[in-house]
Every structure is written in C-alpha cells, then in structure tokens.
Amino acid sequence: MFLRVGEEIQKVLLNKPLMTKEHWRNDARMADKSIFVCPQCGKCWEIITYSTGKKAGKRRHIPQYYGNFVKYGKEKKICPRCK
C-alpha cells in the first residue's frame, strides 16, 4: 500500500507533540528578559532587531511598544520615546 506525501506528513505530525510541557515557562522567562516597563509612560516595550538584507551583518533596531501588557515581573527601564 502506498501513502501519498500529505498522508505521510500527517501521520508523522500526529505522533509528535507540537510543544513540550515546559514550553510556556521558557517563553515567559524569555519575555521577562527582553520586555521592559517604562516608569514614565507606563507602557511595556522591547527592542526588535530586523535584518536589512542589503549587506550581511546590517541590522536595524526598532522599539516595539505594547499598551495592554502584563507588567508584573518586568524590569523597569526608560523607553527610547521618553528619553
């Protein structure tokens, strides 16, 4: 019996868990390290790094702001907008 490619992929995906049990904990810990709270404006923010694609190693750093975000456990740091 021959299986089509899609059926074989589906069979493999059904047997493999998508996320581990500890995935959500690791994700939350990474957010605590990279997302900060501005004490002046009260918003959460982080620096997002994009590759410009023009030259190897050229990167652009842009602040990303979150208005409605959990502030518990986040480090306080003044954002670039309030500096």
Task: Give domain status of residue 51, yes or no.
Answer: yes
Alpha-carbon distance of 82 to 41, in angstroms, equals 7
Query: What average pLDDT is seen over the chain?
Result: 78
Any domain includes 69: yes
For 18-39, what is each residue's pLDDT tens digit? 566 666 667 777 778 899 999 9
Structure-token pair, residue 57: 């190693």
pLDDT confidence of residue 8:
56
Give alpha helix (H) positions in the chain: 5-15, 23-34
In a domain, 17, yes or no: no
Domain presence at residue 80:
yes
50 domain residue, yes or no: yes
More confident of the two residues 71 and 53: 71
More confident residue, 38 or 10: 38
CA distance linking residue 83 with residue 78, whole number of Å: 7
User: 82 or 28, which is more confident?
Assistant: 82
Q: Which range of residues forms the domain containing residue 79?
A: 37-83
Whether residue 11 is contained in a domain is answered as no
Residue 53 lies in a domain: yes
For the cut 70, the answer to whether the pLDDT of residue 1 exceeds it is no
Assigned domain for 63 exists: yes
Looking at the 3D structure of the chain, how many domains does it have? 1
Q: Is residue 14 pLDDT above 90, yes or no?
A: no
